[in-house]
Structure 1
Amino acid sequence: MQEFGGPEGMAVVALPAPVAARSQVLVDVEAIGVGGVDAVIRRGDLAAYGFREGHVLGGEVAGVVAAVGDGVDPAWIGRRVWAPTGTGGGYAERAVASADEVVPLPGRLSAVDAVALGSAGVVAHFGLAHARFAAGESVLVRGAAGSLGIMTVQLAARSGAGVVAVTTSSAARGERLRALGATHVLNRAGEGSPAGFDVIIDVVAGPDVPSFFDVLNPNGRLVVVGAVGGQPPADFGARVMVLFQKSLSFSTFSANTVPNDDKRAVRTAQFAEAARGDLTAVVHEVLPLAQAASAHRRMEAGEVFGRVVLTP
């Protein structure tokens, strides 16, 4: 990403090869997950958090460990792994990751499927837990066509949700989400709901957040797990106060608050489930790294169902 703004500010450039520092592994990258947060960083929306022009995007990769830093067991070398690259560095041929966060891949799980599941699965799992979701409750997944929304639909359905509703942009996408566990398909405004919801998992955020408090049941919980639609209005909490007698709750959730051991345990289990066919990794398209800008254009145009994956 050479400059903030649209995808045209992205370019492939030559940089010095990374080196595994202490407690890190170096990964020969086979697949790179393209996430909504990458677009948010690219637009410059997170500049206040230290992101600068020239930043290498990409928060997760899968591939083979090529080298390890001091303090890391050399037995990792040659193993296929999923690896989080933190705040960036994944859009590359080689990337480094903290050794205590990498997860070995089952033999039957491809690198492409791993990056469609790795980050999304953990956020979906712990996001539902953060919402105190319980079997029998009704769940609305707002912005369900991306990898995070798709994983939330699957996990909620198999955990016994009474209703799993989704917002999405087309009937065709709605049918695909029904095949993954959705029971009701609503438009993007949440219209068409048969009743209220106990839990809303919101991947979108943006200016429409206040209207979704209206479709929560008493004691309902809305948890924002992504912000691809930008920030909610500054006064969005006023709607909660208007609905004071419903005892509604609003919160945000970031996987950064979950201990690494807990995240690794969930990812290990989810990768095994995907290898057995019990979880579905939905990959929209696999593109070469040189077409990263095209991947972002398709994502922002709303063309992507699942995850776009890049390969070096």
Structure 2
Amino acid sequence: MKAVRIRAFGDPEGLAVVALPTSVPAGNEVVIAVEAVGVSGADALIRRGALAAYGFTEGFIPGNEVAGTVTAVGDGVDASWEGRRVWAFTGTGGGYATQVCVPIEQVLPLPSALSPVDAVTVGGSGAVAHFALRHARFTPGEAVLVRGAAGGIGVMAVQLAARAGASAVAVTTSSAERGDRLRRLGATHVLDRCGNGDADAPAGYDVILDIVAGDGLSAFLDRLNPNGRLVAVGAVGGPPPADLGSKLMARFQRSLSFATFSAATVPAADLQAVRRDQLDAAARGELTAVVHDVLGLEQARLAHQKLDAGEVFGRLVLTP
């Protein structure tokens, strides 16, 4: 089998295609012949070495979601899984490969109407967006702002907030063209990266999902309504400023809340239930899989170059 490893932390040139032994399932595992791999911003952070303190070392194989066909099952797994089309969460990584071994609890059957490429575009990002909105205690009728809405999580958050009855779904993005595409997904107002540019946008928001973080995060505290909640779902722009706490306390009278969110804190069974529902919804055409580009596994460097350049709208997918 082939896989893409992080040979050296840093730029995309540190990614290398390597040959590895054929996968053999352990007990309670299946082997999946990979047909599509989702590429995420987290993969880029790992490749740069930004998450080395969390145990991601050089030699790591990125990719946490795949779709394909089960080719072998381990002890304890029903033999009927063999030959089935599936989506799977591979854990923290391992997906950039032609084969993966995955615990059966992390595997879902693919709806017949859903392609592997669309599955890895919806499966992981959609569940993160769903539970991030829940973490923010979003309720129908509230106004939502998605900061950094053009990525995989952002485009799903826009769709889910609109479907759930938000009174407004504003987005920040980098161009008018991206804004038009986000409107077609359910956005009602389009702002520039600083949160300006639409005179008709709400003056304040009950919920802000922030996928960017970085030094600009604290400025969006002033976009929150009283009792508003800002949830950091990602950090593609780096960590929030060190004085975020003092800035939040300076707005004490407005009862604002700041929180972080990671899907790692959600029970696995709950994640799988939402992923199943969303894959079914995508198969019915109720959710849109937004695919920026489909590249071969050997083009992983190019995929990461696109991520680093900020070119991606939706999701990049690798196909071994």
Q: What's the counterpart of residue 137 of structure 2?
A: 132
Which residue type is aligned with residue 166 of structure 2?
A
- Whether contact under 8 Å (1:206, 1:232) holds in the other structure is yes
Secondary structure of 2:19 counterpart = coil
Alignment correspondent of 2:47? 42
Structure 1 counterpart of 2:219: 211
Partner of 2:3: none
Aligned twin of 1:150: 155
Percent identity over paired residues: 65
1:69-107 deviation line (CA, Å, top 9, x unaligned):
222112111111101111111000001112111111100
Give the stretch that moved more between structures: 129-138 or 94-103. 94-103
Mapped contact 1:60–1:82 kept (Cα < 8 A): yes
Map 1:121-200; keep pairs closer than 5 Å.
121-192=126-197, 193-200=201-208
Q: Unpaired segments of 5 or more residues in structure 1?
A: none
| 1:231 corresponding residue in structure 2 | 239
CA distance in structure 1 between the partners assigned to 2:244 and 2:11 by the alignment? 28
Matched residue, 1:118? 123
Unaligned residue ranges in structure 2 (runs of 5+): 1-5
1:56 corresponding residue in structure 2 = 61
For residue 229 of structure 1, report the CA deviation from its aligned partner: 1.4
SS of the residue 2:190 aligns to: strand
Give the Cα separation in 2 of the matches to 1:34 and 1:208: 25
Q: Secondary structure at the match of 1:13?
A: strand
Query: Among residues 294, 300, 306, which one is paired with 1:298 in the alignment?
Result: 306
Partner residue in 2 for 1:17? 22
What root-mean-square deviation, in Å, do the aligned CA atoms of Structure 1 and Structure 2 show?
0.9
1:257-296: CA deviation from partner (whole Å, max 9, x where unpaired): 1112211111111111111111100001100011111011
Query: 2:224 corresponds to which letter in structure 1?
Result: L
State which of 65, 69, 73 in structure 1 corresponds to 2:74: 69
Q: Tell me what 1:250 maps to.
A: 258
Would the aligned equivalents of 1:72 and 1:99 in 2 still touch at CA under 8 Å?
yes
Residues 194-241 of structure 1, C-alpha deviation per residue, up to 9 Å, x if partnerless?
Answer: 311100011111121111111111000011111111111222111101
Counterpart amino acid of residue 64 in structure 1: T
TM-score of the aligned structures, taking structure 2 as reference length: 0.96
Look up the SS of the partner of 2:220 in the other structure.
helix
- What secondary structure, in the 3-state scheme, does the structure 1 residue paired with 2:38 have? strand
CA contact (8 A) 1:201 1:222 kept: yes
Q: CA offsets per residue over residues 238-266 of structure 1, 9 Å max, x none? A: 11011111111111111111112211111
- Structure 1 residue 50: deviation in Å? 0.6
Task: Tell me, in whole angstroms, the C-alpha distance in 2 between the residues paired with 1:306 and 1:73.
Answer: 35
**Is the Cα–Cα contact under 8 Å of residues 210 and 237 in structure 1 kept in the other structure?**
no
Query: Match of 2:194, as an amino acid?
Result: A
Cα deviation, residue 13, structure 1: 1.0
Q: Hey, what's the Cα distance between the residues in 2 that align with 1:22 and 1:190?
A: 51
- 2:106 and 2:81 mapped to 1: Cα distance? 12
SS at match of 2:102: strand
Q: Secondary structure at the match of 1:100?
A: helix
Who is 2:111 aligned against? 106
Partner AA of 2:288 in structure 1: T
Conserved in 1, the CA contact under 8 Å of 2:90 and 2:106?
A: no
Q: Counterparts of 1:235 and 1:74 in 2: how far apart (Å)?
A: 55
Greater shift after overlay, 173-182 or 298-307? 298-307
Cα deviation digits, residues 37-77 of structure 1 (max 9, x gap): 00010010100011111111111100001112222112111
1:122 Cα shift? 0.3
Q: Distance in 2 between matches of 1:260 and 1:69?
A: 21
Residue 280, structure 1, aligned to residue 276, structure 2 = no
CA distance in 2, matches of 1:25, 1:204: 35
Residue 160 of structure 1 deviates from its aligned partner by 0.4
Where does residue 84 of structure 2 map in the other structure?
Answer: 79
Q: 108-117 or 266-275, which moves further after superposition?
A: 266-275
- Extract structure 1 runs of 4+ deviating beyond 6 A: none
Give the Å deviation of 1:19.
Answer: 2.1
**Structure 1 residues 212-221 or 223-232, which shifts more?**
223-232
